[in-house]
Amino acid sequence: MNFLGSQYKYFTGNRRTKTNLGKLLKFIFFLLLVFSIYSGLFYVVAAYEGIEKDLTWVTGFYWTLVTMSTLGYGDIVFTTDLGRLYSMFVLFTGMVGLLVMLPFTFIEFFYAPWLKAQSQARAPKKLPPNTKNHVIITNLDPITESLVKKLDANKIEYFILEPDLQKAIDMSDLGFKVVNRDPTDYQTYESLCIENASLVVATGSDTVNTNVAFTVREFSKSVKIVTTAASADSVDILQLAGADQVLQMGEVLGRSLARRTLGGNARVHVIGHIDELVIGEATAQETPLIGKTLQNSKLRETTGVNVVGIWERGKFKQPLPDTVITDKTVFVLAGSVDQLRAYDELVSIYHVSDKPVVIIGAGRVGRAAAKSLSERHIDYRIIDKDPARIRDKEKYILGDAADHEVLNKAGLEEAHTALITTHSDDVNIYLTIYCRQLCPDIQIISRSNYEKNVNTLHRAGADFIMSYASMGANSIFNILEGQDVMILAEGLTIFNHKVNRHLADKSLIESNIRNRTGCTVMAIRGKDEMDVSPHPERTLLMDEEIILIGTSDAENEFNKLYEENPN
């Protein structure tokens, strides 16, 4: 019904369309008039030939229609020259009027506008005036495609701008909500209810993003604008243009890959924080915790930290009391600053490795990873086959990473971690398989540009994978939700949930959230304070906010069980 309604509005609201419909109706009226005149003249000719006996008005209309449409059944035939001339005249005008002019007029004034109305219904040029709290996306790419999935999962309305009508229709057919407008056109934002939007996302080139930010800011001083930037030099310009947040995805991705490197020592490496809650990761390698269960390790009792997850060879596992800690275990820890410091004091004497990390690829991502490692005083070696990227002969190695001798020169066989950062997923899969074959025990952390290749990289032997698309989408979504940008590994998410009637007045043990969904409660935010690493006996109160961690599937399961049903 909405689709038919939108087409009806197009026909009745467009001045040109109404004019065309008027012309079509006039032409049809003209044909009916001619048809009626010819039917009347039929009786004159019939009287001239002396065959008017038993003829009715229906007979006249019947003969005229059969003749004009060239059907020519032959059951009523004139035999005089006048009758034949009249028959030919009616036949000729019928051929021109019904077989040529009517189809042309119908297509030009009705069918073509109807097709256009269909296209406009699937890819409109403006939003309804009551649209609000929506996200405007300036183009579709791997990041925004992943963002759309999160917006859909959280029931947040969005619209993607696409200037090409056919592309917009194709995107609409794929299930995307599209507006057929150019994101760099000033007039576009007059029709997008920009004052009521919650976020504008620009992920195109730096120059296009600058144009978008500057134009949107002219229309609204309050709407939040997030852009990406390929060049560090563009960050200041984008901010001057009006962007609230500028994401350098290469820089963010490189630092995220480096953060996964847990060699050097067993201390906690902080991922991020939400108010007083701090989230970090730490390896169990070379510590006395190996061989113990989580219950026997007494980490919570001695340090106060909460083990909210465990990584084993790149797979995120739910932490259970009887989970055995191995040398491949990486803890995901949640707690206050003091609690994480207490953990560091417990394990700081244990040294994992001082061997360099091998980074394959010296592009923006690789260089950002190297810079992050350097800040943590972790040694590294970068391999790249482009001489223009060689910055430091001591740290950089010129050569192809597919060459065994080049890998040996970089110290792969002794390294505890390899970061694979090239911009090609195919190359990353190839190098992951090769490095895993050469060094079965090494930690391999790989970049993925597309979500579809994440599982392939896991099968190839990567321990951790950072997806360019989902990482960017998560960063933008966190900004939309007003949270700190916190980048986790692929498939792991942190989310908030307000305590409702399904959870209120129950303790964490009674709610059984972990066993029912696979999510772990890291903190509870009340009106005045945050309870970090809450005790299992802690009672949940109505309208408190719980902060949870889990896989994407676990989050979906949680929402399915505990979200309020609007019906």
Q: Which tens digits make up the pLDDT trace of 538-549?
A: 899 988 989 888
Please report which helix (H) or strand (E) contains residue 93, including its range. helix 81-94
* Rounded Cα–Cα distance for residues 106 and 541 (Å): 66
* Strand pairing category for 357-360 and 329-335: unpaired
- The pLDDT of residue 191 is 87
Q: Do 230 and 307 meet the contact criterion of CB atoms below 8 Å apart? A: no
Give the start-end residues of each E strand in 186-295: 199-202, 225-228, 245-247, 269-274, 277-283
- The pLDDT of residue 566 is 42
β-bridge partners, 507: 539
Please provide residue 478's backbone torsions phi and psi, each rounded to the nearest 5 degrees: -65, -40
Which stretches of the chain drop beneath a pLDDT of 70? 1-18, 20-21, 24, 52-53, 109-122, 262-265, 313-314, 350-353, 483-491, 564-567
Measured torsion, CA atoms of residues 535, 537, 543, 544, in degrees rounded to the nearest 10: -10
- The pLDDT of residue 118 is 61
**Closest Cα partner for 434 from 406, 460, 464, 465?**
460
- The pLDDT of residue 109 is 67
**CATH topology identical between 265-347 and 491-562:** yes
**In CATH, what is the architecture of 135-247?**
3-Layer(aba) Sandwich (3.40)
How do the domains of the chain map onto residue ranges?
Answer: 2-121, 135-247, 265-347, 357-470, 491-562
Read off the tokens for 548: 């949870």
**In CATH, what is the architecture of 357-470?**
3-Layer(aba) Sandwich (3.40)
- The pLDDT of residue 1 is 44
Residue whose structure tokens are 């190098």: 431
Read off the tokens for 512: 């059984």
**Closest Cα partner for 312 from 295, 332, 289?**
332
CATH superfamily of 265-347: Regulator of K+ conductance, C-terminal domain (3.30.70.1450)
Give the start-end residues of each E strand in 416-554: 417-420, 443-448, 464-467, 492-498, 520-525, 530-532, 545-551
Please provide residue 11's backbone torsions phi and psi, each rounded to the nearest 5 degrees: -70, -40
* Rounded Cα–Cα distance for residues 72 and 63 (Å): 9
- The pLDDT of residue 92 is 86
What confidence tens digit (pLDDT) does each residue in 27-67 have? 778 888 888 888 888 888 888 887 766 777 888 888 888 88
CATH superfamily of 491-562: Regulator of K+ conductance, C-terminal domain (3.30.70.1450)
Residue whose structure tokens are 């065959």: 51
**Closest Cα partner for 188 from 163, 206, 166, 169?**
163
**In CATH, what is the architecture of 2-121?**
Orthogonal Bundle (1.10)
- The pLDDT of residue 260 is 75
Residue whose structure tokens are 């002969």: 393
- The pLDDT of residue 486 is 57
- The pLDDT of residue 259 is 78
Cα–chain center distance at 174: 13
* Strand pairing category for 464-467 and 443-448: parallel
